[in-house]
């Protein structure tokens, strides 16, 4: 089956996720879809599988235009997928998960012997050790990933989309998967393969399409004609995307936050890190590298199983966010702004003052709206938060201004250390620059920032040093000279230096 | 044998056995045929009511209107026989249809409007109770057909006729939830609605189906309750809500959806009945039963939390 993607465009609120994307996937080829985090790959896959509807443009299967109103339509058109997030039913058996789309029945009832027989056949292609009768909830992440792949294979799809299928499996299992994909290709199946692992793409795929900021950077290029270097530069782009944030002078003699050989219950191993006063220390890694988990471990969500954390040279045992703020003056801007960072239905002033309620409380511990307004007011001006009033609900603000509010509350609390997790996800370009200036500004004022981001340009713009995290280990450190090409290449080299072995290539 | 020991409900079964032995030793009356009859008769409605909640929990919803819908169905069932002289054989299917329609209203509102099922059924609970009280002015219908009363009171030895209902419904429900593709889809939506949708299952349809089934079971519970009491009381259903959650949850059903245990729910109802029975035999103030029931729920759920493995999802 051949899929033509014809001028697809998709917006999410003010952000354009896909912009006039056109390319073609032929029968009997493995087509690599590449791009940085947030380039639009997963959005594209979700449109092809009927999860999202495009705002404009269309899909053609073998030349015929199709419109999918639900995933069911895409399944009926013989399109199968492994999505990036886990999509299994936790309390069902492995076998039933694999054949859930087409449960075999006898006399109208599910035939479990047949369920496990069919599931076994698909699972055996990848891993013989997983029991099809085991409950999915008991499996490891890698095993779940294999079950998802087996599930997609069981669809006997004519078009198969795999969104980072090898992200959490071992080289041995990936090799088995590539065998299967090779056979499917020979049978004429069209395969879309998303991966950050360059070696995999270069050795497995026939053609490559590269997305950058939702736009096509290269379409349908035969893989033989692109070098590894060109692939990377196409993903990154050549245009200067690093704004000058001025000079900062972090005080490297003063270490405010230090991890010494820290291992965590999330699986981090032997992590060393030191954050200096007034410094922006970047923590970069691909999806699933354990960035947010490391931040959360510092804040007491997740157990420290070995090593120690020091704040201002003193050993620190932080058990909760409240303790982090009250005893150690650490703030945390969550990557999940709407879910964790803000009280959406509450006014701007309360969202800013929430961290200092205790300080501004008057007689009897009561908080007056006036005290809140007085405490929060200056930040609205200083951060240029565009809001009709300090009493407006945060939910009525744009994403960028919401993010400013979630940063403002930590400034109000006068934190010394601020952990900032993905500060500009889903934020338009103009406000993004303002937020970058804001973060650079607070660092200049002496706040130490631990910056977590999967946006390389943001990292190169802001960080003084970049720690590279891969598979829950810190694998390297790059001194940032704020020049995109060199720094990003250095960071990616650390990740790929680990990869070839892991990918079994 | 090993499977029984490993089952989640093994603890419940053990506590029933131990509880029964203790009661038998402490109070010789416990082992009497009549006491067994009283005990079994009291669990029939409860088991069906527990199932009515369990099927909405299965899909990841809640039905707070389970008792209100049961109460409304009960008085409409009794009323149509007393006031309009509808024969019993016709009144039963009409009553069950009413229950299904009530569930359909819940399901459609929960699935199509996007309003949380908790709020929807909280509101419809009030509405159903309103219909109940508006029609009856709190006055029960007393003139029930003799056949119905005989069914409600009859027994063979210690076995009440009413026991037929759970004996028929339980295996059919197990068949539905564990063997029929449509039942599997319902549980799949409860387990991970996003994943189910990507597998071509419609979460909306599953939610509507679960609420209809809940209404169906609540109506069966209502008919049984009328038979048991010998009259259609407006108060039927008013004490169902706590038990409807307690029994499935104690029995291992996941509050968040996606996993149910039919045997667990039945055993939990038996445990609760044993406690009540034991307290009566021990001449304890029946009002304290309420307290013990609450304490039991908290204890069991804490135990389950402690036992649950932390599951890492990427």
Interface test with A, best of B195, B252, B258, B260 (most A CBs within 10 A): B195
**A70 neighbourhood in chain B, CB within 8 Å:** 197, 200, 202
**B311 neighbourhood in chain A, CB within 8 Å:** 90, 137-138
Q: Token digits for A492?
A: 């990616």
Q: Closest Cα of chain B to A195: distance in Å?
A: 17
B197 touches chain A (CB under 8 A): yes
Cα(A67)–Cα(A59) distance, rounded to whole angstroms? 7
Domains, in order of start, for chain A: 3-236 (3.40.50.300), 242-327+463-505 (3.40.50.300)
Model confidence pLDDT, tens digit, residues A333-367:
988 777 777 888 888 888 888 888 877 887 777 88
Model confidence pLDDT, tens digit, residues A251-287:
888 999 999 999 998 889 899 999 999 999 999 987 6
Q: How many CB pairs under 8 A join A and B?
A: 80
B134 touches chain A (CB under 8 A): no
- DSSP letters along A404-439, please? HHHHHHHHHTT-SEEEEESTTTT--HHHHHHHHHHH
**B179 neighbourhood in chain A, CB within 8 Å:** 109-110
Q: What does the buried/exposed string (b/e) look like for A291-320 if buried means 16 or more CB atoms within 10 Å of the residue's CB?
A: bbbbbbbbbbbbebeebebebeeeebebee
**A105 neighbourhood in chain B, CB within 8 Å:** 181
Phi and psi at residue A80, to the nearest 5°: -120, 155
Q: Closest Cα of chain A to B3: distance in Å?
A: 14
Q: Token digits for A88?
A: 């299994």
Which residues sit opposite A190 in a β-bridge? A159
B180 touches chain A (CB under 8 A): yes
- DSSP letters along A41-91, please? HHHHHHHHTTSS--SEEEEEETTEEE--SSHHHHHHTTEEEE-SS----TT
Q: Token digits for B262?
A: 């039919």
B256 touches chain A (CB under 8 A): no
Q: Within a 10 A sphere around the Cβ of A238, how many other Cβ atoms?
A: 10
Closest chain A residue by Cα to residue B175 = A109
Q: Closest Cα of chain A to B60: distance in Å?
A: 13
Cα(B148)–Cα(B80) distance, rounded to whole angstroms? 14
Query: In the structure, what pLDDT confidence band is assigned to residue A14 with cuts at 50, 70 and 90?
Result: low
**B205 neighbourhood in chain A, CB within 8 Å:** none
Closest chain B residue by Cα to residue A139 = B311
B8 touches chain A (CB under 8 A): no
Model confidence pLDDT, tens digit, residues A283-325:
998 767 888 889 989 998 888 889 999 999 889 888 888 888 8
| Cα-based distances in Å from B55 to A258, A297, B61 | 51, 39, 9
B139 touches chain A (CB under 8 A): no
Interface test with B, best of A91, A105, A147 (most B CBs within 10 A): A91
Q: Closest Cα of chain B to A370: distance in Å?
A: 35
Cα(B246)–Cα(B224) distance, rounded to whole angstroms? 20
Model confidence pLDDT, tens digit, residues A434-448:
889 889 988 998 999
Average pLDDT of adjacent 10-residue blocks, chain B of 314 residues: 66 85 87 91 96 97 97 97 95 98 97 91 97 94 95 94 97 96 96 92 95 98 96 94 91 90 94 84 77 76 59 36
Averaged confidence pLDDT in chain A: 87
B259 touches chain A (CB under 8 A): yes
A105 touches chain B (CB under 8 A): yes
pLDDT of residue A501: 44
Cα(B31)–Cα(B24) distance, rounded to whole angstroms? 6
Name the residue among A88, A109, A138 with its Cβ closest to that of B195.
Answer: A88
Model confidence pLDDT, tens digit, residues A123-161:
999 988 899 999 998 888 788 989 999 999 999 999 999
Model confidence pLDDT, tens digit, residues A37-80:
668 888 899 999 999 999 999 999 999 999 999 999 999 999 99
Percent of chain A at pLDDT exceeding 70: 95
Averaged pLDDT for residues A493-499: 76
Q: Within a 10 A sphere around the Cβ of B196, how many other Cβ atoms?
A: 26
Give the containing element (helix H, strand E) for A299.
none
Cα(B27)–Cα(B136) distance, rounded to whole angstroms? 42
Query: In the structure, what pLDDT confidence band is assigned to residue A428 with cuts at 50, 70 and 90?
Result: low
Query: Which of B291, B188, B174, B302 minimizes the C-alpha distance to B250?
Result: B302
Which carries the bigger pLDDT value, residue B55 or residue A402?
A: B55
CB contact under 8 A, B197 and A168: no
3-state secondary structure chain B: CHHHHHCCCHHHHHHHHHHHHHHHHHCHHHHCHHHHHHHHHHHHHHHHHHHHHHHHHHCCCCCCCHHHHHHHHHHHHHHHHHCCCCCHHHHHHHHHHHHHHHHHHHHHHHHHCCCCHHHHHHHHHHHHHHHHHHHHCCCCECCCCHHHHHHHHCEECCEEHHHHHHHHHHHHHHHHHHHCHHHHHHHHHHHCHHHHHHCCCCHHHHHHHHHHHHHHHHHHHHHHHHHHHCCECCCCCCCHHHHHHHHHHHCCCCCCCCCCCHHHHHHHHHHHHHHHHHHHHCCCCCHHHHHHHHHHHHHHHHHHHHHCCCCCCC
pLDDT of residue A374: 85
Q: Are A201 and A223 in contact (CB under 8 A)?
A: yes
- Phi/psi region, residue A345 (left: phi>0; alpha: psi -120 to 50; beta: rest), is alpha
Averaged pLDDT for residues A451-463: 88
Q: Are B67 and B52 in contact (CB under 8 A)?
A: no
Cα(B50)–Cα(B226) distance, rounded to whole angstroms? 17
Name the residue among A89, A168, A288 with its Cβ closest to that of B196.
Answer: A89
Q: Token digits for A349?
A: 């002033």
CB contact under 8 A, A89 and B309: no
A131: Cα separation from own chain's centroid: 30
CB contact under 8 A, B314 and A85: yes
pLDDT of residue A272: 92
Interface test with B, best of A90, A133, A142 (most B CBs within 10 A): A90
Q: Are B39 and B273 in contact (CB under 8 A)?
A: yes
Dmax over Cα atoms in chain B, in whole Å? Answer: 61
Domains, in order of start, for chain B: 29-305 (1.10.3470)
Predicted complex ipTM exceeds 0.90: no
Q: Are A31 and A209 in contact (CB under 8 A)?
A: yes
CB contact under 8 A, B202 and A70: yes
pLDDT of residue A65: 95
Phi and psi at residue A74, to the nearest 5°: -65, -40
Model confidence pLDDT, tens digit, residues A89-129:
999 999 999 999 999 999 999 999 999 999 999 999 998 88
Query: Which of B52, B167, A200, B81 minimizes the C-alpha distance to A191?
Result: A200
Name the residue among B199, B202, B258 with its Cβ closest to that of A91.
Answer: B258
Interface test with B, best of A69, A87, A89, A292 (most B CBs within 10 A): A89
CB contact under 8 A, A105 and B181: yes
**Distance in angstroms between the alpha carbons of the first and the last residue of chain B:** 36
A51 touches chain B (CB under 8 A): yes
CB contact under 8 A, A108 and B258: no
- Dihedral of CA atoms A152, A164, A176, B197 in degrees, nearest 10, equals -10
Taking the whole predicted model, whether its pTM rises above 0.90 is answered as no
CB contact under 8 A, B184 and A110: yes
């Amino acid at each position: 089956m051949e899929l033509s993607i014809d001028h697809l465009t998709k917006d999410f609120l003010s952000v354009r996720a896909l912009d006039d994307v056109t390319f073609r996937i032929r029968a009997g080829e493995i087509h690599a879809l590449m791009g940085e985090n947030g380039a639009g790959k997963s959005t594209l896959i979700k449109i092809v599988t009927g999860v999202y509807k495009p705002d404009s443009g269309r899909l053609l299967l073998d030349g015929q235009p199709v419109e999918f109103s639900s995933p069911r339509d895409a399944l009926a058109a013989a399109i199968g997928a492994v999505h990036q997030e886990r999509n299994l039913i936790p309390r069902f058996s492995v076998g039933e998960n694999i054949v859930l789309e087409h449960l075999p029945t006898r006399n109208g009832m599910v035939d479990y012997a047949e369920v496990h027989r069919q599931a076994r056949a698909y699972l055996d292609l990848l891993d013989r050790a997983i029991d099809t009768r085991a409950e999915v909830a008991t499996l490891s992440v890698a095993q779940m990933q294999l079950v998802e792949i087996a599930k997609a294979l069981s669809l006997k799809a004519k078009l198969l989309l795999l969104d980072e299928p090898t992200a959490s499996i071992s080289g041995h299992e990936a090799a088995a998967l590539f065998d299967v994909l090779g056979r499917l290709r020979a049978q004429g199946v069209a395969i879309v393969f998303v991966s950050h692992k360059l070696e995999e793409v270069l050795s497995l795929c026939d053609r490559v399409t590269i997305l950058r900021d939702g736009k096509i950077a290269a379409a349908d290029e035969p893989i033989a004609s692109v070098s590894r270097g060109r692939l990377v530069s196409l993903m990154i782009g050549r245009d200067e995307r690093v704004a000058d944030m001025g000079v900062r002078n972090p005080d490297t003699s003063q270490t405010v936050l230090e991890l010494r050989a820290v291992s965590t219950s999330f699986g981090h191993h032997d992590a060393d890190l030191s954050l200096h006063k007034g410094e922006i220390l970047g923590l970069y890694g691909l999806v699933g590298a354990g960035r947010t988990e490391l931040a959360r471990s510092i804040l007491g969500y997740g157990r420290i199983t070995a090593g120690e954390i020091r704040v201002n040279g003193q050993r620190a045992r932080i058990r909760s966010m409240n303790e982090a703020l009250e005893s150690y003056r650490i703030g945390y801007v969550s990557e999940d702004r709407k879910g964790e960072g803000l009280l959406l239905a509450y006014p701007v002033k309360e969202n800013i003052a929430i961290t200092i309620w205790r300080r501004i409380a008057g007689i009897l511990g009561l908080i007056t709206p006036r005290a809140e307004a007085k405490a929060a007011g200056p930040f609205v001006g200083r951060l240029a938060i565009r809001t009709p009033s300090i009493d407006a609900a945060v939910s009525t603000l744009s994403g960028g201004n919401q993010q400013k509010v979630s940063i403002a509350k930590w400034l109000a609390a006068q934190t010394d250390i601020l952990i900032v997790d993905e500060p500009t996800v889903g934020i338009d370009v103009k406000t993004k620059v303002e937020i970058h200036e804001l973060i650079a500004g607070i660092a200049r004022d002496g706040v130490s920032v631990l910056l977590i981001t999967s946006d390389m340009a943001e990292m190169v713009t802001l960080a003084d040093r970049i720690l590279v995290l891969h598979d829950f280990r810190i694998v390297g450190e790059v001194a940032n000279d704020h020049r995109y090409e060199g720094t990003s290449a250095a960071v990616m080299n650390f990740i790929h230096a680990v990869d070839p072995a892991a990918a079994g290539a | 044998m090993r499977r029984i020991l490993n089952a989640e409900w093994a603890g419940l079964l053990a506590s029933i056995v131990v509880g029964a032995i203790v009661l038998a030793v402490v109070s010789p009356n416990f082992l009497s045929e009549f006491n067994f009859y009283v005990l079994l008769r009291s669990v029939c409605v409860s088991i069906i009511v527990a199932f009515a909640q369990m099927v909405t929990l299965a899909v990841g919803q809640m039905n707070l209107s389970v008792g209100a819908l049961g109460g409304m169905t009960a008085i409409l069932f009794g009323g149509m026989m007393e006031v309009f002289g509808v024969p019993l054989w016709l009144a039963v299917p009409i009553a069950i249809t009413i229950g299904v329609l009530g569930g359909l209203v819940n399901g459609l509102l929960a699935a199509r409007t996007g309003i949380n099922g908790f709020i929807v059924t909280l509101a419809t609970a009030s509405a159903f109770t309103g219909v109940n009280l508006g029609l009856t002015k709190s006055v029960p219908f007393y003139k029930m057909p003799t056949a119905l009363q005989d069914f409600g009171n009859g027994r063979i030895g210690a076995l009440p006729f009413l026991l037929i209902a759970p004996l028929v419904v339980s295996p059919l429900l197990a068949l539905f939830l564990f063997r029929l593709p449509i039942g599997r889809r319902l549980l799949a939506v409860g387990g991970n609605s996003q994943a189910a949708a990507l597998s071509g299952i419609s979460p909306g349809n599953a939610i509507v189906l679960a609420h209809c089934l809940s209404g169906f079971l609540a109506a069966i519970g209502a008919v049984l309750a009328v038979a048991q009491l010998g009259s259609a009381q407006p108060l039927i259903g008013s004490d169902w809500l706590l038990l409807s959650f307690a029994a499935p949850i104690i029995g291992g059903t996941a509050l968040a959806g996606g996993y149910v245990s039919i045997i667990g729910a039945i055993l939990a109802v038996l445990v609760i009945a044993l406690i009540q029975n034991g307290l009566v035999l021990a001449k304890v103030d029946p009002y304290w039963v309420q307290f013990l029931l609450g304490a039991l729920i908290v204890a069991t759920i804490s135990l389950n939390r402690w036992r649950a493995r932390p599951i890492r999802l990427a």
